[in-house]
Structure 1
Amino acid sequence: MPEGDTIFRSARALGRALTGHRVVAFDTAYAPLASVNDNTPVAGRTIEQVESRGKWLLIYFSGDLILVTHMLMKGSWHIYRRGERWRRSRQHMRLVIATEEFEAVAFDVPIARFHTARSLERQSAIPRLGPDLLGSGFSEGEAAIRLRARGDEEVAVALLNQQVMAGIGNVFKSEICFVCGVHPFRRVDALTRTEVDCLIDKARQLLALNVTETSGDGMITYTGARRTTGAADPGARLWVYGRQGRPCRRCGESVLMRKQGAQARSTYWCPRCQPIEEQADRARW
C-alpha cells in the first residue's frame, strides 16, 4: 500500500538510476501517453529530475515535459538493468522508461499523465497539496492551521486528507494516532494544542524513519517493510495496524478495528491507550 514514504523512496531510487541520462526507449499501455509520445517523442530527451510530492511522483524530462504518476493502492515502480528479467508479467506494465543502463517500469500504476510546467501548475491537483511531510520546506505552523480547519472531521479522516498534510496513508494514519494516544474517531476540534503538535511531529518522524538509507534497498523501489515501532523483530514492525483482536504492544488490551470515512478505510486503535472520552480539565485552544 504505497504511502508518502514509499513514493519518496521510489523517487530517490529512480532519481539515482535515471537523472542525467538520455532516454533511449519509451513504452506505455496508456493511449493518451502514447499519443503525446507520438507527437513529441520521449526518447532522446534527458531525465532532469525525479521528485516526490506526498503520494505523487514526478519525472522531469528535458524540453518541458513532466510525467506525473500516482500509485493509489497497488501501483509500483521497479528498476532493472537492461536485459534483466522483470519480476512481474508484462500484462501489468503501464510504463517503461529505458536508458542505456536501466529500465524503469511502472506496474499497475493507475494514474499517469504528461504535463508541461504550466499545465501542471494550472490544471493538476498537485499544487494544492498540503505541506509535504518529507519535504525540506515543511511548515509545522501551516500544517497545524490546515488540520485545525478540519474541525468537524474525525481525526483519522483528516490525517488522510492530502490537503492537510501530504504523505499520510492508511497505515500511518492509525500508527500516528496510537503513538500520540489520540482516539482516531475523535473530532479534530476536540484536540488540544499538545495533541495537534504531537500528531504533526509524529507524522513527520514516522515517515522519516521509513526513508532512511537503511529502510530501503538502494536502487530497488519495490521492497522494504514499513515500520513504526523501531523494534528489531520483523514481526513487531507496527503498533496497531492490521492487529485486530491481538494484544496491544503497550498495555495488552485487544486492538480494535472499524471502517471509517466515506471510503470505509480500516482504522485500528487500542481502546485503553487511546480513550475516546475527552478530559475536561485539559487546556484547549
Structure 2
Amino acid sequence: MPEGDTIYRSARALAKVLEGKHVTRFDTGYAHLAAVHDDRPLVGRLIEKVEARGKWLLIYLSGDLILVTHMLMSGSWHIYRTGEKWWMPKKAMRALLEVDGWQAVAFNVPVAEFHTAASLARKSSVPKLGPDILSEGYNADVGYAALKVRAASHPEDEIANVLLNQRVIAGLGNVYKSEVCFAARVHPFRMMKTISDDEMRQMADVAQRYMKANVVDGTGEGIVTYTGKRRTTHQTRREDRLWVYGRRGLECRRCGGVIEYRKQGSAVRSTYWCPECQPWVGDGTAVKGLDTPVRRVKMSC
C-alpha cells in the first residue's frame, strides 16, 4: 500500500505539471465522477493546487471543485506527455486530467470523489485526519501530543495499530510502523497504557525523520516520480535498506537476534520486530542513537 511519502511525492510531481494550468480534457472510468463532469464540466477550469494529506491526494480546481483520491493497495497516479504511450492499459484508467502538454492519469484508484469545500469538511474522512507527518506544521511535539491523547482515550490499543491510525497521526503505513517501533525499541504489541512519554516522543520524532529522508528528491525543476526503494537504515544496498520489515527469521542488524513476525489488528497487517531490541517489558526510556551504520551479518539460507 502506498504510504504517506509516496503520496507526497505524487502530489509534488503532479503539482509541477498541473498547477496554474487549465483542464483541456477530462475522462473517467467511474460513473459517479462522470455524472459530476456532466453537470459541472471540468474542461476550462484552472487547477489551483495539488496537495497530499496523509494518504489522500487532493486536486483543487476553480469553481469550488476538489478531486479527492486514495490509493489503498493498488492505485497510482502517472504523468505522461500528451500523446505518450501509457504504461498501463486503458481499462485500468479511473480518472484523467489533461492540460497543455501533459496528462495525469489515475490507474486502479479505488477511491475517487468530487467534493466542494463544504462537502469535504462535512462528509469526507480527510478532515478527520490527525497531524500529517510531512506537513510544515508537524514536529515531534505535535506527534507526541497526538499519541498522548490516544493513550488517554484508548489505553488498551496496541502501539503499532495506533501508528497506523490515520486519525491519530497521518501518513504512516505498514513499513514505517514496524521501523519506527524498532527505532524506539518499543515492542509493537504493547498497549498504549504501557508506553512512556519518552517512548512516544521518540516515535513521533523518528517517524518524521524517516519519512522526510524518503522525500528529499524532487525539489528542483525536474519531475521526480520515483526515488528508489524506501530506506530507514541510510544504506543503499537493497538488502540493507530496512531494519526489520520483511526480514522474518533473519538476524537483527543491531544485536544479531532473530527478527519475528506476526499478523496484527483487525486488518491483519504484517508486523516485524526484534525481541531482543524490543523487549515486551521495558523500563519506559526511549533509547537514543539507533541510526548507526548497518552491521554486516552472515545470513543463513
- Range of TM-score over shorter length: over 0.9
**Which string of whole-angstrom CA distances, capped at 9 and with x for unpartnered residues, describes residues 172-218 of structure 1?**
00000011110000111101111010011111111111111269995
State how far apart, in whole Å, the 1-side matches of 2:117 and 2:198 are: 39
Q: 2:146 aligns with which of 143, 146, 166?
A: 143
State how far apart, in whole Å, the 2-side matches of 1:180 and 1:278 are: 11
Range with greater deviation from structure 2 (185-194 or 230-239): 230-239
**CA contact 1:79–1:220 (8 Å) conserved in 2:** no
Q: 1:203 aligns with which of 200, 207, 212?
A: 207
State how far apart, in whole Å, the 1-side matches of 2:27 and 2:96 are: 5
State how far apart, in whole Å, the 1-side matches of 2:194 and 2:102 are: 51
Aligned to 1:34: 34
The aligned runs of 1:89-104 (5 Å cut-off) are: 89-104=89-104
Aligned to 2:65: 65
State how far apart, in whole Å, the 2-side matches of 1:223 and 1:282 are: 34
Aligned to 2:51: 51
The aligned runs of 1:86-165 (5 Å cut-off) are: 86-138=86-138, 139-140=142-143, 142-149=145-152, 150-165=154-169
State how far apart, in whole Å, the 2-side matches of 1:64 and 1:33 are: 15
What's the offset of the Cα at 1:282?
A: 6.1
What's the offset of the Cα at 1:74?
A: 1.1
**Which string of whole-angstrom CA distances, capped at 9 and with x for unpartnered residues, describes residues 201-248 of structure 1?**
111111111111269995243563111111122321111111111111
| 1:143–1:21 Cα change, 3 Å | same
Q: CA RMSD in A?
A: 1.9
AA of the residue aligned to 1:104:
A
Aligned to 2:225: 221
- In the alignment of these two chains, the number of paired residues is 282
Q: 1:176 aligns with which of 167, 176, 180?
A: 180
State how far apart, in whole Å, the 2-side matches of 1:81 and 1:146 are: 46
Q: 1:254 aligns with which of 255, 258, 279?
A: 258
| 1:222–1:72 Cα change, 3 Å | farther
Q: Which runs of 5+ in 1 are unaligned?
A: none
Aligned to 1:212: 216
State how far apart, in whole Å, the 2-side matches of 1:83 and 1:234 are: 35
Does the residue aligned with 1:171 lie in a helix, a strand or coil? helix
State how far apart, in whole Å, the 2-side matches of 1:216 and 1:176 are: 29
The aligned runs of 1:4-43 (5 Å cut-off) are: 4-43=4-43
Scaled by the length of structure 1, the TM-score of the pair is 0.94
**CA contact 1:26–1:98 (8 Å) conserved in 2:** yes
State how far apart, in whole Å, the 2-side matches of 1:94 and 1:259 are: 32
AA of the residue aligned to 2:76:
S
**Which string of whole-angstrom CA distances, capped at 9 and with x for unpartnered residues, describes residues 139-194 of structure 1?**
23532333423321111011100011000111100000011110000111101111
Q: Which runs of 5+ in 2 are unaligned?
A: 287-301
| 1:216–1:231 Cα change, 3 Å | farther
State how far apart, in whole Å, the 2-side matches of 1:71 and 1:154 are: 25
Percent identical among aligned pairs is 54
| 1:244–1:217 Cα change, 3 Å | farther
| 1:88–1:130 Cα change, 3 Å | same
